[in-house]
């Protein structure tokens, strides 16, 4: 193995604070793999939390591995070596378990790449007892594990605090058991899905359980977040958000917007106790001086004002990803202003009132403008606005209403900027609608790319003709891939493996004769089984009802 890679990994470790080095003797060895690069992985609280949970057990060793960057990949190819873990620089194939933490569907493509670099066969059916057990968890798997099901020995469907302890206990107790016997036992643990114990008819989403496996697997959650504080564990220079100490305030979202998975897969909305968060904030401010407040609905945290006052009183600074338009807390705004924020993000999402009502956003144009006025009144003259393009039933009239709203916001920013003799700007972040499993809009197809391209061109011309307005458009190719992996079934596993071999998923789809257009764009009938139906969410009736309210179908 190239000494350059080992030296790089040692330097990364030397720059970190908080990692764990354990002796392997007699312990269960787990390599926690993030299917993306180191900076992205180490900015992910879920990845850090699983690392901490595993290493909190005395009989478990947990190390990390990542998708190599371009320079590392060249070194691996040059030396012919196998992918190494960060902590001990051991090959991944020497571990008992390779555990993937997957937050985003597009990273499914990187799982075969990592297995190839680790000299581990990609399909679970090809792996005998001499290879590590390959497992996975994370938000992407909560939604739809089927595109990677044939690559994995088991899937964790639920939050790590609940799923991991009994699973690790079983793996420790059954280290000498055969793989098939171990997996049959694991299938009866809470939140554990063993794909090989379910037969799926080709071209369908009909599951037949085998060997006594449960008909469906229920996603499991930690009901009391006080028992599971989630903060930055490893301080990693060069990682995303490395200048902040991250603290998770809550999980889920109480709003239930019809396009957004967070309000459904993490239901019910849960908050951490204020006193616990104050303790974590005090500790975090000693380390970093700036806190990153994490949650899908930070503005909805009940005690956000008191927490903000506490942070301000300690002389600390804080950041949030975006603010809820109808929940702008005065104390939180004071904290953000004192923290030096010159830009605040708001998320109207729907461009017109009709579309905001369709997605159950629960805000009006008057509220959007009032929120902008509030921020501008605090001398925040750079506003970032998130919009979704291609929502079901969207028309040119909806786009016209969207541009009218943007012009009204721009006029307010420019007027205040002139008055204060400063520059102001409106940044538009536009993302195509991608249907997500376990949301009321899961049955809707993604809009045709040619139609989205036309709308993108319209918005580019619109923004190009206005001073103080900038637009950022998400890659349609990436959004299409996300939709494919969000909606696809087990038939996509060969595509993922083939994509590594051919260098691209489009070519792989052509060679395998997979109709990606059909998977991405079609409206799915309500009576049709869905690839993710193996997961028992208990929400189907609610989803059907919300789908009917959104599109006026009346449901089933």
Give the CATH number of the domain where residue 202 resides: 3.40.50
Q: What are phi and psi of 32, to 5 degrees?
A: -85, 110
Question: Domain end: 340, 363, 395, which one?
Answer: 340
Asked whether the bond before 333 is cis by omega within 30 degrees of 0, the reply is no
Residues 334 and 348 in one domain: no
Query: CA triplet 480, 483, 488: central angle to 5 degrees?
Result: 125
Residue 237 lies in a domain: no
Same domain as 92, residue 71: yes
Alpha helix stretches (DSSP H) within 215-329: 262-265, 274-287, 304-313
Q: Is the pLDDT of residue 121 over 70?
A: yes
**One domain for residues 407 and 292:** no
The tokens describing 362, both together, are: 């629960």
pLDDT for the residue 376: 95
Total tally of structural domains belonging to the chain: 3
- CATH number for the domain spanning 273: value is 3.30.750.210
How many separate helices (H) and strands (E) can be counted in the chain?
Answer: 22, 19
Average pLDDT over residues 126-142: 94
* Residue 445, CA distances (Å) to 189, 391, 392, 393 in order: 34, 10, 8, 11
Domain match, 438 and 554 both: yes
Q: Same domain for 20 and 156? A: yes
Residue 175 lies in a domain: yes
Query: Cα–Cα distances in Å, from 266 out to 139, 219, 306, 318, 430?
Result: 10, 9, 25, 25, 25
- What's the CA gap between 214 and 189, in Å, rounded? 10
Task: Tell whether 483 is covered by a domain.
Answer: yes
346-381 tens-digit pLDDT: 999 999 999 999 999 999 999 999 999 999 999 999
Q: Does residue 225 lie within any of the structural domains?
A: no
Residue 94: the pLDDT is 97
Q: Quick one: residue 349, left, alpha or beta (phi over 0 = left, psi -120 to 50 = alpha)?
A: left
Whether 99 has a pLDDT exceeding 80, the answer reads yes
Nearest to 435 by CA among 258, 269, 295, 267: 258
Judge whether 223 lies within some domain: no
Structure letter (DSSP) for residue 263: H
Question: Strand, helix or coil at 199?
Answer: strand
Q: Find where tokens 């395998």 sit.
A: 512
Which structural domain, as residue segments, surrounds residue 535? Answer: 342-556
Q: How crowded is residue 338: how many other Cβ atoms within 10 Å of its Cβ?
A: 15
Q: Taking 90 as the threshold, does the pLDDT of residue 281 lie above it?
A: yes
Please determine, for residue 555, whether its predicted confidence score (pLDDT) is greater than 80. Answer: no
Please tell me whether residues 276 and 410 are part of one structural domain: no
List pLDDT tens digits, range 479-498.
Answer: 999 999 999 999 999 999 99
d(CA 163, CA 165): 6
Distance CA 484, CA 193 (A): 22
For the chain, how many residues are written? Answer: 556
In this structure, the answer to whether residues 316 and 286 fall within a common structural domain is yes
Q: Which tens digit of pLDDT belongs to each residue from 14-58?
A: 999 999 999 999 999 999 999 999 999 999 999 999 999 999 999
| CB atoms near residue 214 (< 10 Å) | 16
- Give the residue from 460, 326, 483, 329 showing the smallest Cα distance to 399: 460
Q: For residue 7, count CB atoms less than 10 angstroms from its CB and return exposed for 0-12, middle for 13-18, buried for 19 or more.
A: exposed
Residues 176 and 198 in one domain: yes
Q: Is residue 161 part of a domain?
A: yes
Return the pLDDT at 165.
Answer: 97
Same-domain status, 275 and 361: no
Q: Which pLDDT value is given to residue 1?
A: 52
Of 320, 340, 360, the residue at which a domain comes to its end is: 340
Distance CA 13, CA 16 (A): 5
Task: Tell me if residue 462 falls in helix, strand or coil.
Answer: helix
pLDDT of residue 531: 95
324: pLDDT strictly greater than 60: yes
Give the CA-trace dihedral at 225, 103, 41, 67, to 10 degrees.
150
Per-residue pLDDT band for 80 (boundaries 50, 70, 90) equals: confident
**What pLDDT was estimated at residue 49?**
96
Q: What is the mean pLDDT of the chain?
A: 95
CA–CA distance, 247 with 31 (Å, rounded to integer): 25
Query: What pLDDT, in 10s, does the model give residues 213-242?
Result: 999 999 999 999 998 889 999 999 989 999
C-alpha–C-alpha distance, residues 455 and 46, integer Å = 35
Spatial distance between the Cα atoms of 554 and 283, rounded to a whole number of angstroms: 52
Gap between the Cα atoms of 55 and 57, Å rounded: 5
> Who's near 515: CB < 8 A, 6+ residues apart?
none
> Do 49 and 12 sit in the same domain of this protein?
yes
SS (H, E, C) 492-551: HHHHHHHHHHHCCHHHHHHHCCCCHHHHHHCCCCCCCCCHHHHEECCCHHHHHHHHHHHH
Residue 310 to residues 21, 114, 241, 302, Cα–Cα distance (Å):
35, 44, 22, 14
- Among candidate residues 292, 308, 340, the one where a domain is terminated: 340
Q: CA 66 to CA 88: how far, in whole Å?
A: 14
Nearest-10 Cα torsion for 249, 252, 258, 261 = 110
Same domain, 196 and 270: no
Query: What average pLDDT does range 299-311 have in this prediction?
Result: 95
Do the beta carbons of residue 197 and residue 181 sit within 8 Å? no
Q: Verify that 384 and 476 share a domain, yes or no.
A: yes
519 domain residue, yes or no = yes
* Residue 356 located in a structural domain: yes
Q: Tell me: pLDDT of 205 over 60.
A: yes
Residue of 33, 2, 45 whose CA lies nearest to 296: 45
Q: How many CB atoms lie within 10 A of CB 521?
A: 17
pTM: 0.96
pLDDT digit string, tens, across residues 522-553: 999 999 999 999 999 888 999 999 999 999 87
The pLDDT assigned to 554 comes to 56
Classify burial at 212, counting beta carbons within 10 Å of its beta carbon; exposed 0-12, middle 13-18, buried 19 or more.
Answer: exposed
């Amino acid at each position: 193995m190239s000494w350059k890679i080992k030296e790089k990994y040692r330097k990364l470790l030397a720059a970190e604070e908080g990692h764990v080095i354990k002796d392997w003797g007699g312990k269960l060895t787990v390599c926690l793999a993030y299917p993306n690069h180191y900076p992205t992985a180490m900015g992910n609280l879920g990845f850090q939390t699983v690392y901490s949970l595993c290493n909190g057990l005395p009989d478990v060793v947990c190390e990390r591995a990542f998708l190599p960057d371009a320079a590392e990949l060249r070194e691996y190819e040059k030396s012919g070596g196998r992918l190494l873990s960060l902590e001990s620089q051991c090959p991944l194939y020497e571990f008992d378990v390779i555990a993937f933490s997957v937050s985003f569907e597009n990273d499914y493509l990187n799982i075969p790449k990592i297995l190839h670099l680790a000299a581990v066969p990609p399909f679970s059916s090809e792996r005998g007892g001499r290879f590590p057990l390959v497992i996975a968890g994370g938000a992407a798997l909560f939604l739809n594990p089927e595109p990677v099901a044939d690559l994995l020995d088991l899937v964790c469907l639920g939050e790590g605090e609940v799923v991991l302890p009994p699973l690790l206990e079983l793996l420790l107790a059954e280290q000498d058991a055969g793989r098939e016997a171990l997996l049959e036992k694991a299938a009866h643990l809470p939140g554990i899905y063993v794909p090989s114990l379910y037969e799926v008819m080709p071209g369908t989403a009909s599951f037949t359980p085998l060997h006594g496996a449960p008909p469906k697997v229920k996603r499991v959650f930690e009901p009391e977040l006080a028992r599971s504080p989630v903060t930055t564990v490893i301080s990693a220079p060069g990682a995303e958000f490395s200048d902040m100490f991250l603290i998770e305030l809550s999980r889920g979202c109480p709003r239930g917007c019809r396009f957004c998975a967070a309000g459904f897969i993490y239901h019910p909305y849960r908050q951490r106790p204020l006193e616990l968060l104050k303790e974590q904030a005090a500790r975090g401010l000693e380390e970093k001086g700036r806190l990153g407040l994490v949650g899908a609905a930070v503005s909805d945290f009940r005690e956000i004002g008191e927490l903000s006052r506490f942070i301000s009183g300690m002389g600390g600074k804080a950041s949030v990803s975006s603010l809820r338009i109808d929940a702008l807390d005065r104390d939180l705004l004071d904290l953000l202003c004192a923290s030096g924020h010159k830009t605040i993000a708001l998320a109207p999402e729907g461009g017109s009132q009709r579309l905001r009502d369709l997605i159950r956003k629960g805000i009006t144009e008057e509220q959007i403008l009032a929120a902008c006025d509030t921020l501008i009144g605090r001398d925040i003259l750079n506003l970032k606005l998130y919009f979704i393009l291609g929502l079901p039933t969207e028309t040119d009239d909806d786009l016209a209403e969207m541009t009218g709203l943007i012009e009204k916001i721009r006029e307010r920013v420019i007027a205040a900027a002139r008055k204060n003799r400063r520059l102001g700007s409106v940044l538009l972040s536009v993302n195509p609608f991608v249907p997500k499993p376990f949301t009321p809009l899961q049955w809707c197809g993604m809009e045709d790319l040619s139609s989205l391209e036309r709308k993108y061109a319209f918005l580019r011309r619109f923004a190009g003709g206005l001073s103080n307005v900038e637009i950022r458009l998400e890659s349609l190719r990436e959004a299409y891939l996300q939709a494919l992996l969000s909606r696809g079934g087990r038939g996509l596993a060969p595509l993922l493996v083939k994509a590594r071999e051919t260098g691209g998923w489009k070519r792989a789809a052509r060679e395998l004769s997979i109709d990606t257009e059909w998977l991405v764009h079609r409206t799915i009938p309500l009576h049709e089984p869905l690839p993710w139906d193996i997961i028992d969410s208990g929400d189907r009736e609610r989803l059907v009802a919300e789908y009917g309210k959104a599109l006026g179908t009346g449901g089933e």
